[in-house]
């Protein structure tokens, strides 16, 4: 906006007068508010697993899981300092549960996923049913379901927590409560829901209406099942030049994303493969599961090594290169964006 000096001076005086009345002029900020395309305040960033692990284990010497309620180091985007957010809509943290510990039962409006990075035999119990966690399993805690975490194994359990905390904060819709009991009483045998809903089947009770699950019944997506599925896909399907061999985790109740706000997927890029560029409006958090390679994001390169975590905010061109077979897990706010008719992608 070009303004004559005296016009600018008079306008500034007017703004100063109206400020105590909590009024501001749109024309000074319109171009920032209604942008021609996304320009995220979040930055591309990566975290090295070994560095996080070190700090987390040191925290483990100083505070118990029970004292902390959740002993987690937040992965805070350097462009969103103080906001406990990895992209504007999503949170990521790394949680530690040491042998013998319990992270007490609670529930909250926020949806959560866990992606296991280290340890075997710990569990997340959701509404009284345990999911026994193995490396690279995906475990969900949909909103308002009781959950506690425990670790009867003899090594540390470490996983990535992905939640929609900033989205819930944005809508001023946070509710949470403690359970009262540290750990929930067992309501169902471990693996009961996985057996009923995790194999593309559902309990048969007669009519289709009676068979249809009412909500998201499945909360455990084991590595032992998704990893061979990716391999089989790589042997039998044409590769997507922009995504590699990619599989989305589904809510078996409706075939949609795993939770109302969060979508999650895995992908396999065979050694030597390089994706073409793609950008999308869903800020995405990635975990490297296996292999070595690199990501090129708007032209700058990030090395990729197992268990490192990196974030690609909205509308950044992403290209991936696999030096060895490269397997990635990713979650994003696409589930929310699609409901709001906001999601867009562009492939080059
Ligand atoms: O495990 O319930 O990283 O409530 C942040 C908030 C984990 C959890 C987090 C939570 C949890």
DSSP-based three-state secondary structure for 43: coil
The domain total for the chain is 1
The owner of tokens 């499945």 is 218
CA of 237 to the centre of ligand 1 (A): 37
Q: Is residue 336 part of a domain?
A: yes
What's this model's pTM, rounded to 2 decimal places? 0.97
Q: Is residue 248 part of a domain?
A: yes
Q: Is residue 21 part of a domain?
A: no
User: In terms of DSSP bridges, do strands 309-312 and 72-74 run parallel, antiparallel, or are they unpaired?
Assistant: unpaired
Is the beta carbon of 295 within 6 A of some atom in ligand 1?
A: no
Is the beta carbon of 166 within 6 A of some atom in ligand 1?
A: no
User: In terms of DSSP bridges, do strands 112-118 and 138-141 run parallel, antiparallel, or are they unpaired?
Assistant: antiparallel
Q: Is residue 19 part of a domain?
A: no
The owner of tokens 């070994």 is 50
| Domain ranges, residue 122 | 39-347
Q: Is residue 298 part of a domain?
A: yes
> CA-CA distances (angstroms) from residue 129 to 121, 132, 211, 226?
14, 10, 21, 21
pLDDT one digit per residue (tens) for the chain, 348 residues: 788 999 999 999 999 999 999 999 999 999 999 999 999 999 999 999 999 999 999 999 999 999 999 999 999 999 999 999 999 999 999 999 999 999 999 999 999 999 999 999 999 999 999 999 999 999 999 999 999 999 999 999 999 999 999 999 999 999 999 998 888 899 999 999 999 999 999 999 999 888 988 889 999 999 999 999 999 999 999 999 999 999 999 999 999 999 999 999 999 999 999 999 999 999 999 999 999 999 999 999 999 999 999 999 999 999 999 999 999 999 999 999 999 999 999 999
Ligand 1 nearest atom to the CA of residue 124, by list position: 1
Ligand 1 nearest atom to the CA of residue 103, by list position: 1
Q: Is residue 15 part of a domain?
A: no
How far apart are alpha carbons 245 and 234 in whole angstroms?
Answer: 6
Nearest partner of 331 among 75, 83, 160, judged by Cα? 160
How far apart are alpha carbons 101 and 93 in whole angstroms?
Answer: 18
Is the beta carbon of 143 within 6 A of some atom in ligand 1?
A: no
Q: Is residue 227 part of a domain?
A: yes
CATH number at residue 204: 2.60.120.10
Q: Is residue 9 part of a domain?
A: no
Q: Which helix (H) or strand (E) holds 148?
A: strand 147-150
Q: What are 189's two structure tokens?
A: 């045998």
């Amino acid at each position: 906006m070009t303004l004559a000096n005296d016009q600018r001076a008079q306008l500034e005086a007017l703004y100063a007068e109206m400020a105590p009345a909590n009024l501001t002029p749109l024309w000074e900020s319109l171009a920032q508010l209604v942008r021609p395309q996304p320009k995220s305040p979040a930055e591309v960033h990566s975290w090295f697993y070994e560095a996080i692990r070190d700090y987390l284990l040191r925290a483990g010497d100083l505070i118990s899981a029970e004292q902390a309620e959740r002993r987690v180091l937040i992965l805070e985007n350097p462009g969103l300092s103080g906001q406990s957010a990895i992209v504007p809509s999503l949170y990521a943290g790394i949680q530690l549960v040491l042998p013998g510990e319990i992270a007490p039962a609670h529930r909250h409006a926020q949806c959560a996923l866990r992606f296991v990075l280290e340890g075997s035999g710990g569990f997340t119990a959701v509404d009284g049913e345990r999911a026994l966690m193995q490396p690279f399993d995906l475990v969900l805690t949909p909103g308002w379901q009781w959950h506690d975490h425990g670790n009867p194994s003899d090594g540390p359990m470490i996983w990535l927590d992905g939640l929609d905390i900033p989205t819930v904060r944005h809508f001023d819709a946070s509710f949470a409560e403690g359970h009262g009991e540290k750990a929930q009483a067992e309501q169902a045998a471990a693996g009961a829901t996985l057996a009923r809903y995790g194999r593309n089947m559902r309990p048969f009770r007669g009519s289709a209406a009676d068979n249809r699950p009412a909500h998201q019944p499945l909360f455990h997506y084991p590595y032992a099942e998704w990893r061979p599925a990716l391999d089989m896909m790589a042997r039998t399907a044409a590769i997507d030049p922009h995504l590699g061999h990619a599989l989305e985790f589904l809510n078996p109740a409706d075939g949609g994303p795993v939770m109302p706000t969060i979508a999650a997927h895995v992908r396999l890029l065979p050694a030597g493969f390089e994706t073409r560029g793609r950008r999308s409006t869903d800020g995405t958090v990635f975990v490297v599961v296996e292999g070595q390679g690199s990501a090129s994001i708007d032209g700058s390169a990030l090395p990729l090594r197992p268990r490192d975590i990196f974030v690609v905010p909205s509308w950044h061109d992403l290209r991936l290169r696999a030096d060895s077979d490269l397997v990635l897990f990713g979650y994003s706010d696409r589930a929310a964006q699609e409901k709001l008719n906001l999601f867009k992608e562009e492939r080059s």
